[in-house]
Amino acid sequence: MTFDEAFRNFRDKLQLPGMQPPDLRVPIERLRQQFFRMDYSGEPDAPELAEIRLLTIPGPDGPLKARLYVPLGAGIPPGPGILFFHGGGFVLGDLESHDMICRRLAEGSRCRVLAIDYRLAPETCFPCAHEDALTAWMWMSLHGPTIGIDPKRVAIAGDSAGGNLAAYVCQEMNRKKGPKPAFQLLLYPLLQFADIRSKKMPPQESGFFISVGLFEFFRGHYMPDPATHMDPRISPLFAPAEELKGLPPAHIIVCGWDPLHDEGLAYAAKLRAMGISVSEKEYPSMVHGFLNLTHLSATARSAARDAGIITGKYLGAI
């Protein structure tokens, strides 16, 4: 079975709201249970780590669950680390859905990875996920050594909506003149929530985990107030130029079959215009969310590891 055939079978089986018109009558909890729940036992190169540990950190409205990944090559603590936020449109996703991405980032980078289980919509709305992300970053800046991470050598990372949170934290530290991450790893990031219906969506981009209907589904749950759609916290692509000056170096991954492709490249261009070191990697044949498909695709497996290697080299772990 080819990757395309396997992916279509997977898509049809899962029936997420981006693959057909979203049915808001379907319970959110059911969608969450279906979201990227994969069996990774068939991955012959699944990385072996030194430690995987569940923990909690203080959040703005109670404890936040987190998971620490320690690779075999992490070295003597405190060392470099990655703070990771999962994707899922601020409605779906958790520590389990993005477990393999974190494993492969840790193995590739030789850095400890701390994944955060932030609050989701519709139980909590904007800016709760962003508040959780900022709180997690500030906790890491103060208490990183307690989990073996040097706060001065931390990359902030995320995929899709998680990439939005990572970009937001970097910009917010610019605005507040707070401690900045050393690096930002943005995996097919969602960088604006203002322009949805007019997004250019050719056939190869629509229907694969992302669609106009799915954007509306996510935005309607997380941002029910239209007045917030241009808020720079949720749309970092539109932040004023002065808020981009001095941001951390970045590596941005984009996919060919993804409506977020152009805004990822646009953000890279804006950062580069402000003198920030930026590298990009495009996967022309890959779909949005492909790093969650490591059980189907060798390209996804190598891409996750390669993103870790790039991050680890920048942080001095490799």
On the question of pLDDT at 247 being above 50, the answer is yes
On the question of pLDDT at 43 being above 50, the answer is yes
Range 211-222 average pLDDT: 84
Selected catalytic residue, list 99, 132, 288, 297: 288
Beginning with the edge strand found earlier in the chain, give each strand of the sheet holding 278-287 in spatial order.
49-57, 64-71, 112-117, 79-85, 149-159, 183-187, 250-257, 278-287
Could you tell me the pLDDT band of residue 17, with boundaries at 50, 70 and 90? very low
Return the pLDDT at 207.
42
Return the pLDDT at 215.
83
Q: Is 160 a catalytic residue?
A: yes
Is 257:204 a contact under the CB 8 Å cutoff? yes
Dihedral Cα 300, 305, 307, 309, nearest 10 deg = -160
User: Can you name the CATH fold of 3-315?
Assistant: Rossmann fold (3.40.50)
Range 134-152 average pLDDT: 98
pTM (2 decimals)? Answer: 0.91
Q: Is 229 a catalytic residue?
A: no
Range 137-166 average pLDDT: 98
Q: Where are the beta strands (DSSP E) in the chain?
A: 49-57, 64-71, 79-85, 112-117, 149-159, 183-187, 250-257, 278-287
Selected catalytic residue, list 160, 206, 211, 235: 160
Return the pLDDT at 13.
42
Convert the pLDDT of each residue in 168-208 to its tens digit: 999 999 999 999 999 999 999 999 988 765 555 555 444 45
Q: Is 288 a catalytic residue?
A: yes
Selected catalytic residue, list 251, 258, 261, 297: 258
What are 75's two structure tokens?
A: 């070295």
Could you tell me the pLDDT band of residue 21, with boundaries at 50, 70 and 90? very low
Q: Where are the domains of the chain?
A: 3-315
In this structure, the number of other CB atoms found within 10 A of the CB of residue 52 comes to: 14
